[in-house]
């Protein structure tokens, strides 16, 4: 583990996907992030890899998850454990299919120096509309508090307090990684960098044709397509009572949002929509 000061930058990569390792090393070096570490991801294809996984049916919103999703969660959890074991003030976690804005190094440094002010800050965009609080700042950088779950855990910075809370909460879990990481809780200080400075290639399609030249990169295809044997279709959704409880909660939230939630949020300066990407990211990656 390479530590700079009292923090670290880690990217998670499967041993059997060396193309992504080469991609990430090039990407990190291109924006001046040379002092980084690779974490060898837990591989769901290996026999016994998930023998000690903490996923429990019904412990969250999911009755079952693909083996690849469980392995992904366990890989991130192992990185959280490293942050705590090393006493790091903050750790930056990247998956191995992200593109970075040119100023990501300065952004990371600023957040590391302010790590007592947050538990987690999401650095990347997602593919779904998000609910965020009014615009504020952490050490001069614009952020919005996340008010609901948001997709993608491709890039985030986690404080020491955040890592400890995640490890405690995930002794058993029943959610996907991104749902778990960005579930609003009273003692969970989660923010979105606004605009974002990182994007997983899979989400660039929301920008219409601006980044189409990156969407064609086969190195960055999802393992969901590459390894169907650990991503089976039609997984069990649980018994009737579990599905009904989940649907009832969803309908409650949806009704409240339609009746007054959205209007109230926007009136108070909040935001609802796709997370925008920074201008420096666009300048770096827009097709010339």
pLDDT tens readout for residues 17-37: 999 999 999 999 999 998 899
Q: Would you say 32 and 115 are in contact if contact means Cβ atoms under 8 Å apart? A: no
Task: Give the confidence band of 220 by pLDDT, cuts at 50, 70, 90.
Answer: low
β-strand pairing of 271-273 with 141-146:
unpaired
Does residue 246 fall inside a structural domain? no
Higher pLDDT, 287 or 167: 167
Assess if residue 255 is contained within a domain.
no
Measured distance CA(242)–CA(174) in Å, rounded: 12
Residue 286's pLDDT is what? 80
What global pTM score does this model have? 0.93
pLDDT above 80 for 209? no
Residue 65 domain-assigned?
yes
Q: Is residue 259 part of a domain?
A: no
In a domain, 94, yes or no: yes
For the chain, the average pLDDT equals 91
Does the residue 96 lie in any domain?
Answer: yes
The answer as to whether 261 is a domain residue is: no
Domain span holding position 98: 7-238+271-285
Q: Total structural domains in the chain?
A: 1
Residue 215 scores a pLDDT above 90: no
Q: What value does the mean pLDDT take over residues 249-253?
A: 87
Most confident residue range from 202-206, 235-239, 275-279:
275-279
**pLDDT given at position 261:** 87
Alpha-carbon distance of 208 to 205, in angstroms, equals 6
Residue 288 above 70 pLDDT? no
Q: Residues 122, 194: contact at Cβ < 8 Å?
A: no
The enclosing domain of 70 has a CATH number of 3.90.550
| Least confident range of 106-110, 223-227, 262-266 | 223-227
Query: Do the domain assignments include residue 277?
Result: yes
Cβ neighbors of 257 (< 8 A, separation 6 or more) are: none
């Amino acid at each position: 583990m390479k530590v700079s000061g009292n923090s670290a930058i880690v990217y998670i990569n499967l041993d059997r996907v060396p193309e992504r390792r080469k991609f990430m090393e090039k990407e990190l070096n291109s924006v001046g992030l040379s002092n980084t570490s690779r974490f060898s991801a837990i591989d769901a294809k290996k026999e016994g890899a998930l023998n000690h996984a903490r996923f429990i049916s019904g412990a969250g919103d999911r009755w079952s998850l693909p083996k690849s999703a469980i392995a992904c969660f366990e890989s991130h959890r192992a990185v959280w454990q490293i942050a705590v074991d090393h006493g790091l003030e903050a750790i930056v976690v990247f998956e191995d299919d992200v593109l970075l804005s040119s100023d990501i190094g300065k952004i990371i440094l600023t957040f590391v120096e302010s790590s007592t002010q947050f538990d987690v800050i999401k650095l990347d965009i997602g593919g779904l509309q998000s609910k965020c609080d009014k615009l504020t700042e952490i050490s001069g950088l614009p952020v919005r508090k996340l008010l609901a779950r948001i997709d993608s855990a491709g890039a985030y910075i986690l404080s020491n307090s955040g890592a400890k809370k995640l490890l405690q909460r995930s002794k058993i879990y029943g959610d996907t990684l991104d749902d778990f990481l960005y579930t609003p809780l009273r003692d969970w200080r989660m923010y979105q960098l606004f605009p974002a400075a990182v994007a997983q290639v899979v989400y660039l399609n929301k920008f219409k044709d601006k980044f189409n030249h990156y969407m064609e990169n086969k190195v960055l295809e999802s393992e969901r397509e590459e390894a169907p044997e650990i991503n089976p279709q039609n997984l069990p959704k649980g018994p009737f009572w579990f599905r009904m409880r989940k649907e009832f909660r969803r309908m409650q939230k949806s009704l409240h949002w339609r009746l007054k939630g959205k209007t109230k949020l926007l009136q108070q300066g909040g935001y609802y929509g796709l997370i925008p990407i920074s201008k420096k990211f666009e300048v770096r990656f827009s097709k010339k």
